[in-house]
Amino acid sequence: MTDPSQITVFTARRIRTMNRSNPVATAVAVRDGRILEVGTPETLRPWLDAHPHTVDDRFRDAVLMPGFIDPHLHPTLAAILLPCHFITALEWRLPNRVSPPVTSQEAYMARLTEIEAGLADPAEPLITWGYHRIWHGAVTREMLNAVSSERPIVLWQRSFHEVVANDAAIDWMGLDRADLDRHPQVEPSTGRFFETGLSLAMRGMNPHLLAPQRFSGGLELVKQAIHWGGHTTIGELAYPLADDAGEWAALKAALDGDDVPFRTHFVPRGALRGAFDAQGADLARIDGYAARNTHRLRFGNGVKLFTDGGFFAELMQVQEPGFIDGHHGEWMMAPEAFERVARDLWHAGKRIHVHCTGDLGVELALDVLERLQFARPRFNHRFTIEHFGLSTPEQVRRIRDLGALVSANVYYVHELGEAYWQRSIGHERASSMSRLGALEREGVTTALHSDFTMAPALPLNSAWVAVNRVAESGAVIGAEERMSLDAAMRAITIDAAYVLGMENEIGSIRAGKAADFTVLGEDPWEVDPMALRDIPVLGTVFEGRHFPAAG
Amino acid sequence: MAPVLPGSGRIPVTLLSGYLGAGKTTAVNRLLAAGAGRRLAVLVNDFGAVSVDAALIEARDATTISLANGCLCCAVSDDLGGALDGLAALPEPPEQVLIEASGVAHPARIARMAGGWPGFALDAVATVADPETLRARAADKFVGRLVRDQVEAADLLLLSRADLACPAAVADARALLAGLAPGRPVLDAAEAAAAPDLLLGPLVSGAQPRPLPGPAPHPAFSSRIWTPPGPIAPERMREILAALPAPIHRAKGFFVTPDGATMLAQRAGARVEIAPAAPAATAIVLIAAGPAETRENALPRAIAELDAAPFQDTRPGDAA
């Protein structure tokens, strides 16, 4: 747009506004990055008669939706991972490559050998991500030595809890064989480092993984991936990861430029990492972040807390009867400390987002919310259960009764549904993970997120899992917990905006909101639900400016 | 090869575990005030809760307090490995490390992590329990499993507030601990923190183990040095230490195997470990807790029995 104050009318094959009062349109008038009105060329007449305007029909064959919103991901973690070579059991589509499904050991080793042969610098460490024993069998140090005896090769397991290293990598990590021999969670013969043994490997790998040049290159890939998924707003849902000063400088350099086609809504940690027994919320720190706000990078009223451990790591806290193998999940904070911090935040009027992966984690969050509501009732508080791996139907009703919201990672169903059925918690509970159908039946406002890189940052892919509940094998798992298409599309637009407290700004196409659109090649309501994830994302419009998809 | 230090060459790490409010911080504060008779580094999760007499403090910054008695107290958040590397890199590294685990930590996991870290080895897991709250906590909907795991993973159990709690509560807590962690010694937390050899074990990383506790008997524990009469096979030493009578909860020192190798032997509660060591004087320090009369009787009797035992009776497969 040459003159930013000029009105531009975008016409499209169809506009899905996600505003129930006015669901379908064919034209939208935009000025200064905001929507003046959406409707038809006829209904827009009063604006167009009163002001100079141009009609832009570049989207005449496309479908416009509100810009997609992923209300929970982690650019910092993704920036560490994306520069790795992906060899994955499930397909990963990224802007600069597609990692096709690799589901046997033979195919895994062939792909690894191919990647190794393609690297020019013989000293460059080869770090791959996505290895998983279920699909790729036991890949060992000797097998990696056969790929290269010179180049450090590290397989980083899909859930980040294990690596396998060749001899060159063990030397590169600066590890003494005697320390590996005596470690209970390192297998020197196979080169496998797991759980606490992994810390030894990470100590050697971190200088490489966190090197500034690699990290900023990783953030560039994150930026591309977010645009490629069709997002115009993301939530960074636990700021900072560890090092505030370094992270902020890197994020600001990468995500605050005029060329960035999305905004980032930051939700700070209510307690910094390692504050397991916190006495209360550090409100001065939390409130202080807002002074950094820019046009694209903003801290709002939200604060992040954690109850239980990670879902991919099987460290979620599970109610009886627990895990099949009898292991126990973990608490990220002492429950009393969680309650103290939550109480301070509640009384300060904050919007509290709680990471809960297991049903005992959900139970703790709801018990605390119930006591907070008793002590000081609040309406419209938007206490949000994040991830929502395991839950019970009764908890869903209680979520509704307490006025809470859910932001769910439904990809769990696709990647872990069958694996957890077989070897973690059995069929009944595994098939109802990410219980979205019940949330919809109870009328709980629900968003979908990727927690990227826990799931691909592709909102249409998340919606596809939510609507179909297709597990890794292709079978449907937990059919009763499927979500309607309407609810799934709301969950990546207007309901995601609501979860972030931004529903007056973004999330639907209506007069007054930011002119953020996702440009689709097909209408999600017209394709087979199983084809949802294949709809081409042709690009986005961010605040009135068109950012076509690369390539 | 790096120069071989006495002992295993690794700094022993003692883990102090226990749920929120069990009494860990009180124990740490007492230990810091009493001094440990060694360069002890204490890694704490909640630095703000550390309370030491200002007169003892030599230097202090945002994350470290150095005390005149040789103790160093450091804040550690979620980078335990980095904190341990920092200690190992000090001009004068600590002779022992005590980690105060967070209230929600699974001690077995931290023990594997710290004990497996390059340059460090696990000494013992000590779990603190508060007699007034233990039973309720162990049955709690959210943390019951964790609290029971913490007790079950312990080598030593420390009962806090034993002097303040009502006797029935103490007896009840002891019964609960005995059920969850059979055979693990239960010490008084206040006594153990005021007598570091009781909690941390004897310091034997030097060339000579020091006789303990000195000329005057310590009010909280008794100790003796036993000198093995000759070479002992590692498996036999393991049996000997495991069979020491109840008041003797810790043993640590060096012995020589029939093929001439020096080994470090230690017992902490029910756990016995034998590890290769650099040559050192052969001697094992035994420490007993409990009522003075019981422990003073137990030690000489145990040593007499040890001296009479058939040490040369090596078992098949021991000749390494």
Indicate the domain borders of chain B: 11-200, 221-308
Residue A294 lies in a domain: no
Q: Longest Cα pair distance anywhere in chain B, in angstroms?
A: 58
Q: A58 and A133 share a domain?
A: no
Q: A9 and A111 share a domain?
A: no
Contacts of B130 in chain A (CB under 8 A): none
Contact A266, A239 (CB under 8 A): yes
Contact B173, B188 (CB under 8 A): no
Residue A345 lies in a domain: yes
Q: What average pLDDT score do residues B60-68 get?
A: 91
Give the three-state DSSP class for A232: strand
- In 3D space, the residue among A355, A304, A309 whose CA is nearest the CA of residue B78 turns out to be A309
- In 3D space, the residue among B126, B75, B151, B106 whose CA is nearest the CA of residue A331 turns out to be B106
Q: A341 and A415 share a domain?
A: yes
pLDDT at B215 over 50: no
Crossing angle of helices A359-375 and A393-401, in 10° steps, is 20
Among B142, B145, B151, B264, the residue to mutate for chain A (most A Cβ within 10 A) = B142
Confirm or reject contact between A183 and chain B (CB < 8 A). yes
Last residue of a domain, one of A179, A209, A239: A209
Q: For A168-182, A450-464, B206-220, B266-280, which range has the lowest pLDDT when averaged over its residues? A: B206-220
Q: Are the Cβ atoms of A332 and B104 closer than 8 angstroms?
A: yes
Average pLDDT, chain B: 87
Q: A308 and A450 share a domain?
A: yes
Query: Model confidence at B194, in pLDDT bands (50, 70, 90)?
Result: confident
pLDDT at B254 over 60: yes
CA dihedral A226→A231→A237→A239, nearest 10 degrees, is 50
The residues, any chain, with a CB within 8 Å of residue A42's CB and separated by 6 or more, are: none
Class of B11-200 in CATH: alpha beta
Q: Are the Cβ atoms of A185 and B112 closer than 8 angstroms?
A: yes
- In 3D space, the residue among A425, A448, A418 whose CA is nearest the CA of residue A68 turns out to be A448
Q: What CATH number should be reported for the domain holding residue A151?
A: 3.10.310.70
Residue A501 lies in a domain: no
Handedness of CA B52, B53, B54, B55 (dihedral sign): negative
Q: What CATH number should be reported for the domain holding residue A529?
A: 2.30.40.10
CA-nearest residue to A241 within chain B is B78
Q: Give DSSP secondary structure letters for chain B.
A: -PPPPSTTSSEEEEEEE--TTSSHHHHHHHHHHH--SS-EEEEES-GGG----GGGEEEE-SSEEEETTS-EEEE--S-HHHHHHHHHTSSS--SEEEEE--TT--HHHHHHHHHTSTTEEEEEEEEEE-TTTHHHHHT-TTTHHHHHHHHHT-SEEEETTTTTS-HHHHHHHHHHHHHHSTT--EEEHHHHHHSHHHHH-----SSSPPPSS-SSPPSSEEEEEE--SS---HHHHHHHHHTS-TTEEEEEEEEE-TTS-EEEEEEETTEEEEEE--S---EEEEEEESSHHHHHHHHHHHHHHHHHS-TT-PPTT---
A331 closest CB neighbour out of B104, B113, B116: B104
Q: A542 and A395 share a domain?
A: no
Adjacent-strand bridge partners of A235: A265
Backbone phi, psi, residue A498, to 5°: -65, -40
Residue A317 lies in a domain: yes
Q: A369 and A336 share a domain?
A: yes
CA distance B171 to chain A (A): 27
Residue A97 to residues A105, A136, A230, A536, B296: CA-CA distances in angstroms? 22, 21, 17, 16, 74
Q: A86 and A128 share a domain?
A: yes
B102 closest CB neighbour out of A196, A276, A363: A276
Strands B64-67 and B57-60: antiparallel
Q: What average pLDDT score do residues B172-190 get?
A: 94
B116 closest CB neighbour out of A185, A277, A328: A185
> What is the identity of the amino acid at B245?
P
Q: A175 and A46 share a domain?
A: no
Q: What CATH number should be reported for the domain holding residue A467?
A: 3.20.20.140
B133-142 b/e (C-beta count within 10 Å ≥ 16 → b): bbbebbeeeb
Residue pLDDT tens, chain A, 551 long: 445 579 999 999 999 999 999 999 999 999 999 999 999 999 999 999 999 999 999 999 999 999 999 999 999 999 999 999 999 999 998 888 999 999 999 999 999 999 999 999 989 999 999 999 888 999 999 999 999 999 999 999 998 889 999 999 999 999 999 999 999 999 999 999 998 899 999 999 999 999 999 999 999 999 999 999 999 999 999 999 888 999 999 999 999 999 999 999 999 999 988 787 888 999 999 999 999 999 999 999 999 999 999 999 899 999 999 999 999 999 999 999 999 999 999 999 999 999 999 999 999 999 999 999 999 999 999 999 999 999 999 999 999 999 999 999 999 999 999 999 999 999 999 999 999 999 999 999 999 999 998 999 999 999 999 999 999 999 999 999 999 999 999 999 999 999 999 999 999 999 999 999 999 999 999 999 999 999 999 999 999 999 999 86
Tally Cβ neighbours within 10 Å of residue A227: 23
- In 3D space, the residue among B119, B44, B59 whose CA is nearest the CA of residue B89 turns out to be B119
Q: A415 and A517 share a domain?
A: no
pLDDT at B6 over 60: no
Contacts of A203 in chain B (CB under 8 A): 81, 85
Contacts of B48 in chain A (CB under 8 A): 279
Q: Which two tokens stand for residue B151?
A: 């007790």
| Spatial separation of the C-alpha atoms in residues A73 and A411, rounded to whole Å | 13
Whether omega before B118 lies within 30 degrees of 0, making that bond cis, reads no
| Spatial separation of the C-alpha atoms in residues A333 and B78, rounded to whole Å | 12
Last residue of a domain, one of A155, A174, A209: A209
Adjacent-strand bridge partners of B16: B100, B126
Q: Are the Cβ atoms of A330 and B78 closer than 8 angstroms?
A: no
Strands A537-542 and A545-548: antiparallel
Contact B74, B42 (CB under 8 A): yes
Q: A349 and A447 share a domain?
A: yes
Q: A434 and A536 share a domain?
A: no
Confirm or reject contact between A196 and chain B (CB < 8 A). yes
A residues 16-75 closer than 8 Å to B (CB): none
Residue A216 lies in a domain: no
Continuous H helices in A231-357: 244-255, 283-288, 335-347
Contacts of B46 in chain A (CB under 8 A): 277, 279
Residue A365 lies in a domain: yes
Which domain range does residue A110 map to? 77-209
The pLDDT assigned to B177 comes to 97
Residue A481 lies in a domain: yes
> What is the identity of the amino acid at B95?
E
Contacts of A199 in chain B (CB under 8 A): 80-81, 113, 117
Q: How many distinct structural domains can be found in chain A?
A: 3
**pLDDT greater at residue A329 or residue B270:** A329
Q: Which two tokens stand for residue A440?
A: 């919809």
Contacts of B78 in chain A (CB under 8 A): 242, 273-274
> Token match 């034993």: residue?
B162
Confirm or reject contact between A308 and chain B (CB < 8 A). no
Q: Are the Cβ atoms of B116 and A276 closer than 8 angstroms?
A: no
The pLDDT assigned to B45 comes to 84
> What is the identity of the amino acid at A201?
A
CA distance A87 to chain B (A): 29
Contacts of A364 in chain B (CB under 8 A): 142
Q: Are the Cβ atoms of A272 and B77 closer than 8 angstroms?
A: yes
Q: A323 and A392 share a domain?
A: yes
CA-nearest residue to B47 within chain A is A275
| Spatial separation of the C-alpha atoms in residues B96 and B42, rounded to whole Å | 9
Give residue-wise pLDDT tens across range A356-411: 999 999 999 999 999 999 999 999 999 999 999 999 999 999 999 999 999 999 99
**pLDDT greater at residue B7 or residue B170:** B170
Residue A442 lies in a domain: yes
Last residue of a domain, one of A183, A209, A235: A209
The pLDDT assigned to B263 comes to 93
